[in-house]
Structures are given as structure tokens and as C-alpha cells.
Amino acid sequence: MCPMPQVTRSGLTLERVSRALAASTPRTLDIPGFRRAAVLVPLVEEAGGLSLLLTVRSATLRSHAGQVALPGGRLEPGEDAVAAALRETREEVGLEVPREAVLGELSDHPSPAGYVARPVVAHVAWPQELSPDPGEVAETFLVPLDELRATPPRSEVRQLKEGTRRRIFFYRWRDKEIWGFTGNVIRNLFDVIDGRHDEDPFTA
């Protein structure tokens, strides 16, 4: 099992996140030529508050090697976003998350690999013994949400496939650079929690 940092903190609660997700409407994104995918946003509840479970992609992967990521992947035939996110999470890190643990969904986000992915937010029972697939995951770690939320992100505009331009957000936490698709999902989560629904901050 990978070591997890323990940090004393307070602030965000599962109840608050659940209420915010229920009050928001995820944006649907359809880009011609992009395939559908889903990722899990795994929230861990500890005595000091909520943490987000993230992974570091294996250095041997052909795309986004070594980058911080959320567990997930493409939808298989007959799957919805929730089923795909839960299956991919189980396959990548050995994390068992039942469907009833899902709190809600965030807006669709594109990735440079040519996918549009729907983030699925879920409460993860903790602790669990993880068994990361070494071919996909080099490391797992927990980030206290309060610490990350207090970190002002920087952003820049990048061009994805098919000429799609998006504003990309970057968060720095300890020795980790959390950016790109993952950074944008985190920004989306904080926008929902803080009730910012009026504009799309990712439009370039």
C-alpha cells in the first residue's frame, strides 16, 4: 500500500459537497472525433476533513506518463459514466467503490488524448488496502481538499486535438504539479462547492 500523508484540517464536509453537487447542472460537451470516457473523483473522509485520492501515471505509459491523474478510462459498450468510472478505478488501483457511494457528477472535460470524460464524485470508505496496477499507476496519494482549495491556481490556454482550445488550470501541492485535465476537474469541483455556476472558466 502506498504511504498516505496525514494532515490535520477542517472545513469541507461530505454533506456540503453533496448539497453543492445536487444544486448544480453538469455541462455536457460534445467534440466531433472525441471518444467518451469517465473518471472517478474519490473523496476520503478523515477525522480532520476531506481528502482527494490521486494517482501518478506510470512512466511507461505512451500518453501523459508521470502526470498526476484521476482513475478512469473510456466507456465500454453498455456502460454509463458511473459504471465506467467505478470499473476503471477498481482495475487501476484496486479501490472498491459501490454505486450508492456516488455523490454526483461534474461537467464534461476534454483531454489531449482525444477523450471527453465525465467526472463522477464519490465517497470512498477509508482505509482500504490499495493494489495499484504497476503498468498504469506509479503512486497514489491523498491531497487535503482544504489545502488545495486555498492554493490559487495559475492557468494558460492550450490547443487540444481537432483545434479545440481550452483554458488549463495548474495547482501546485508540495512536490506535485496537478494540471491539465485533472487540474480542470479540481477547479470544476471547487466552482461547484463555492456556487460558481454562471460562466465556463475553461472556454478559451
Q: What confidence tens digit (pLDDT) does each residue in 116-126 have?
A: 999 999 999 99
Q: Does pLDDT of 1 surpass 50? A: no
Proportion of the chain above pLDDT 90, given as a percent: 74
Mean pLDDT (the chain, rounded) = 90
Residues across the chain: 204
Q: What confidence tens digit (pLDDT) does each residue in 2-33 have?
A: 333 333 344 799 999 999 999 999 999 999 88
Res. 65 pLDDT band, cuts 50 70 90: low
CA pair distance 77, 84, nearest whole angstrom: 10
Q: What confidence tens digit (pLDDT) does each residue in 83-103 have?
A: 999 999 999 999 999 999 999
Res. 199 pLDDT band, cuts 50 70 90: confident
Torsion of CA 86, 73, 158, 155, to 10 degrees: 20
CA pair distance 163, 34, nearest whole angstrom: 12
Instruction: Answer yes or no: are the C-beta atoms of 55 and 70 closer than 8 Å.
Output: yes
Smallest CA-to-CA distance from 177 within 143, 145, 150 is with 143
Q: Name the strand (E) or helix (H) holding 139.
A: strand 137-144
pLDDT value of position 75:
97
Positive or negative, the CA dihedral 90, 93, 97, 102 is negative
pTM of the model: 0.91
Smallest CA-to-CA distance from 202 within 108, 72, 64 is with 108
Q: What confidence tens digit (pLDDT) does each residue in 146-174 have?
A: 999 999 999 999 988 767 789 999 999 99
Give the contacts of 55 (CB within 8 A, at least 6 positions apart).
Answer: 68, 69, 70, 71, 92, 93, 132, 137, 138, 139, 140, 141
CA pair distance 59, 158, nearest whole angstrom: 23
- Grid coordinates representing 69? 491523474
CA pair distance 164, 133, nearest whole angstrom: 32
Strand bridging mode 72-74 / 154-159 = unpaired
